[in-house]
Structure 1
Amino acid sequence: MALPVAPIAGFALRYGAVALAAYAATRVAATGRRDQRVEDAMDETPEGVTLRRDDEQINGTLRWSRSYRLGRSGPGVEIDATGFARIKVKRLK
């Protein structure tokens, strides 16, 4: 039985383009740095969403933490996502 090459070539082209774009993005992106003060602030952030409004800015935080396990004693993973936002608005004269 003959193997249809056209559909396979389409998938290979698509995934090859995605792999090439990911490779190019990793080569262009600058290496980030780790600041321990920021790490500590993220660890102290309460779970959920918080908003605070001052005269000239609004600050917001978000923390979402969940644990997932396969079975009772199977392998698991813990996901802890934290985000900060600051929006400053100034009136120009």
Structure 2
Amino acid sequence: MPLPLAPIAATALRMGAVAVVVYAIRSLREPLHRDQRAEDAMDELGEGLAFRRDAEQVNGGARLKRTIRVGESGPGVEIDASALGRVRFRRV
């Protein structure tokens, strides 16, 4: 029984075109730099959610740090997600 190559070829061409577009966009983009001050600020955040309010602005921060393992002592992944935010109100 012959294998129908036309549907497979069309799908392969479509996936190849998407791969070429993704590669072109990725190569044109400049690499991002890592700001060490921001990294240090996120490392100093405490676990949980915190807000602080001043007269002109509200600051907030959140951090979630978890370790997920396969089995009791199996391989694992540590997830460390943190966010900083600020909302400022001014009369103009």
> TM-score normalised to the size of structure 2?
0.72
Deviates more, 1:3-12 or 1:37-46: 3-12
Q: How well do the aligned residues superpose, as a CA RMSD in angstroms?
A: 2.5
Query: Following superposition, which runs of at least 4 residues in structure 1 exceed 6 angstroms of deviation?
Result: none
Structure number with greater Rg is 2
Q: Classify 1:13/1:44 alpha carbon distance in 2 versus 1 (closer, same or farther; 3 Å).
A: same
After the TM superposition, which residues 28-47 of structure 1 pair with which residues of structure 2 at under 5 Å, given as runs?
Answer: 28-47=28-47
Aligned to 1:6: 7
The alpha carbon displacement at 1:53 in A equals 1.6
After the TM superposition, which residues 16-35 of structure 1 pair with which residues of structure 2 at under 5 Å, given as runs?
Answer: 17=18, 19-35=19-35
Alignment size in residue pairs = 91
Gapped runs of 5+ residues in structure 1? none
Q: What is the distance in 2 between the residues matched to 1:66 and 1:15?
A: 38
SS in 1 for 2:40: helix
Gapped runs of 5+ residues in structure 2? none
SS in 2 for 1:68: strand
Aligned to 1:52: 52
Q: Classify 1:7/1:85 alpha carbon distance in 2 versus 1 (closer, same or farther; 3 Å).
A: farther
> TM-score normalised to the size of structure 1?
0.72
